[in-house]
Amino acid sequence: MNANMIMHQTEFTDKIAVVTGAAQGIGKAIAQSLHDAGAIVAQLDIQFSEDLHNKHASLKYKVDIADSAAVQELIDRVEIELGPIDYLVNAAGILFTGSLLDSPEEDWHKTFAVNTTGAFNIYRAIAKKMRARKQGAMVAIGSNASAVPRIGMGSYASSKAATTQMLKCIGLEVAESNIRCNIVAPGSTDTPMQHQLLTNENTTEKVIQGSLDTYRLGIPLKRIATPQQISDVAMFLLSDKASHITLETIVVDGGATLGC
């Protein structure tokens, strides 16, 4: 058991957590961290082929978060099967690369369907239930691209910017009900999405160095993040140690956006 698990073991034990995008990358790391800390974790992802039910373990549910009716049905089901939801981390997301001017319009709509509308569906469904109980904590996995323009990532950056503001607005609505809403905004992280961006010309080393041609700064810490490093920040924001923090964005990008 590592130090992070020991620190959170008591407050997370037997609490109900929902994590979307849990099949891989950052979502998978967060689901594992919550499970290790004693939480009962409902893992949601469109990639899961079936529901796996083991009481007091990480449970897996297949769902398309862009489908509002399916989301509401599943959240109702989770609360019946597991109990009242205490925590939500939305890590689900997709990325299409290419110029905003030249990419298919469909890429824009698909990106917003998952990254923004999907996030709205899951936050609203769970926030309503938390509001009735006057407790809960929600975290969004955003992106440092939400505040800094990116060449070739326009639809992704725009969707993350919209989602960040949307969660802060929801957070303002539910703050008086003792529900906290915060955002973790990673930069380059060792995930399948990051690997999607790598090519012979765009290697990890070049990401770290930066590119004048694409107006992209390098990473001062000279490394990309691990999913666990992002998970650690999400766990902090969910925890009682962050009990007076809400409507905030914590950027975890090794200094790539120079604190902006």
Residues 58, 23: contact at Cβ < 8 Å? Answer: no
Q: What are phi and psi of 254, to 5 degrees?
A: 65, 20
How far is 217 from 69, CA to CA, in rounded Å? 41
- Give me the residue label for tokens 């604190």: 259
> Which of these is catalytic: 61, 87, 123, 156?
156
How far is 234 from 224, CA to CA, in rounded Å? 17
Q: Which two tokens stand for residue 176?
A: 């008086």
Strands 87-90 and 59-62, bridge-based pairing: unpaired
Cβ within 8 Å of residue 145, ≥6 positions away: 153, 156, 157, 160
How far is 171 from 224, CA to CA, in rounded Å? 30
How far is 189 from 179, CA to CA, in rounded Å? 28
Catalytic (active site) residue 156: yes
Catalytic amino acids?
156
